[in-house]
Structures are given as structure tokens and as C-alpha cells.
Amino acid sequence: MAGVKFGVVVFPGSNCDHDAYHATKHVLGESAEFLWHKESDLRGVDVVVLPGGFSYGDYLRCGAISRFSSVMKEVVKHAENGGHVIGICNGFQVLTELGLLPGALLRNESLKFVCKDVHLRVENAEGAFTNRYEKNAVLQIPVAHGEGNFYTDSETLKSIEDNGQVAFRYVEKDGTVSAAANPNGSLNNIAGITNQQGNVLGMMPHPERVVEQLLGSSDGLGVFESLVDTIAGSVPALK
């Protein structure tokens, strides 16, 4: 079985890039490399990871400047050709600014930076990023953001829901959706969504921070394992 190559994009201000690298290379045992934002070659990676952090200091709007980096032009092409892209936290913000995912991430309703463990329910366990989980499984994964309040107009929201694009939702420990379980005011408690084709995922919580018992939990590893199953298990593209 051929290995999967992860490429972690590094913007000025990224600060979860090493976590993503560690998760994919050392814990998962796949190959991984960093992709500097000025590069214009993805070096044949199978999965692009847009990591968390404060790219370009969050100037103007979170993710607004990063989306014009030269590496992002290649990331868009990669996604349009069906390649997999995962944006975590700031990476999710970049993906919405870029238009690869619908909606926007507004300032948290509380106006506060929220840094804590939350519970997520797996809404769609058939996707490329979630097939290792059971549907409705409840995961404990940390969030750390000031702008994670998912918003979109009601028509788009309906289509996201109807198409099964919601990957994760903020819930109570027992899996019920409640306002109290929502850390940021996101519509429908949405924590992560995919695009319509299912090859691009954006999520505010940090799965790369919970990938081994040493870190307290390995609930987040399934996201990366799912990708390996999806890519290594699929018919290899002709070289």
C-alpha cells in the first residue's frame, strides 16, 4: 500500500503547523512536509493541510490575506482536481475567504477567545475525513479561537445541511445539541463542514492536538486515518 503524503502549508503567523506535521508524520507514520506560502509547487502531496494560527496577524479579516499567497493558487487547483484539503481553525477561515467552502467565520458571540475542550458529534461518517468514525460518535477535541462563529445565509445553510456537508457539530457530552455546548455562536452548532464534492474539509476544533494518549486523547487521529484510508485505499492515479 502506497503511503500518503501530507503537505502542511506554513504562512507567516501559522502556529499549529508543527502539530499537524507531528500528527501525520510521527503518529500516523505517513510522509509529511512543510510547504512555505511562497512556493508554487505542491511537490506531489496528496493532502494539503492548512494549519491553525494567526496568518498575517489576522489583519483585515482572518484568512483574508493568506488566500492570495502563491501557494494557495496551487491549493485551489489541487482541490478542483479532486485533491484533499483540510483547513483547521485559521485554515478553515482561509478556505471560506477563498470560496472553497461556503459561509464565513465571524467573531465569537461572546467576543472572547475560547480555548477549551468541546464535544463534537460526527454527523457524516461516510466522508473522506470521517470514515474511521461511527456516525453520531461523540469526540472530545479542543478549540482555540476568537473567530469561529460559523455564519451563512439561510439558503446556503439549508443546502449545506441537505447535502450532508456538516461533518461535525458542537454537542453536549451525551451527544445532544444545545446552545450551552456551542462555544462561539455558530449557526446550527456547526463545527466543521465539507464542500459539496467532499474533498475539502474546514473545522474550527483541532484534531491534530489530540492524536495520542500522551496528549490526553487520540480522538482527533481518526480524521487523518480516514484520509489515509480514502487515499491509499482508492485506485491510484496513473503516473
Partner 1 sequence: MYKATITVKLRPSILDPEGKAIEHALQSLEYTRLSGVRVGKEIELTVDAEDAATAEKLVDEACSKLLANPVMEDYTFELQEL
The nearest distance, CB 8 to partner 1, in angstroms, is 25
The answer to whether 191 touches 204, Cβ cutoff 8 Å, is yes
- For residue 111, give every residue at least 6 positions away whose Cβ sits within 8 Å of its Cβ, in sequence order, or none: none
Strand partners, 97: none
Size of the site for partner 1 (CB under 8 A): 18
| Residue 18 annotated among the catalytic residues of the structure | no
Question: Given candidates 111, 179, 237, 238, which one binds partner 1 under the rule CB under 8 A?
Answer: 111
* Closest CB to partner 1 among residues 45, 98: 98
Rule CB under 8 A: say whether 104 interacts with partner 1.
yes
Give φ, ψ of 123 to 5 degrees.
-90, -30
Of 48-56, 70-78, 102-110, 118-126, which part binds partner 1 (CB under 8 A)?
102-110
- Among residues 89, 119, 123, 225, the one annotated as catalytic is 89
| Residue 147 annotated among the catalytic residues of the structure | no
> Alpha carbon of 73 to those of 37, 38, 40, 218: distances in Å?
10, 10, 8, 33
* Closest CB to partner 1 among residues 88, 101: 101
Which three-class secondary structure state does DSSP give residue 121? strand
Rule CB under 8 A: say whether 87 interacts with partner 1.
no
Question: Given candidates 61, 76, 138, 232, which one binds partner 1 under the rule CB under 8 A?
Answer: 61
> Alpha carbon of 210 to those of 88, 112, 163: distances in Å?
13, 23, 28
Give φ, ψ of 24 to 5 degrees.
-80, -40
The single residue listed with the C-alpha cell 484568512 is 63
Q: By CB under 8 A, what part of segment 171-190 binds partner 1?
A: 185
Rule CB under 8 A: say whether 110 interacts with partner 1.
yes
Of 81-89, 108-116, 123-131, 196-204, which part binds partner 1 (CB under 8 A)?
108-116
By C-alpha distance, which of 194, 21, 221 is closest to 140?
221
Rule CB under 8 A: say whether 197 interacts with partner 1.
no
Pairing of strands 200-203, 190-194: antiparallel
Rule CB under 8 A: say whether 34 interacts with partner 1.
no
| Residue 62 annotated among the catalytic residues of the structure | no
By C-alpha distance, which of 38, 67, 74, 111 is closest to 202?
67
Question: Given candidates 152, 182, 195, 199, which one binds partner 1 under the rule CB under 8 A?
Answer: 152
Q: Which residues bind partner 1 (CB under 8 A)?
A: 60-61, 64, 68, 96-97, 103-104, 106-111, 151-153, 185
Active site residues: 89, 206, 208
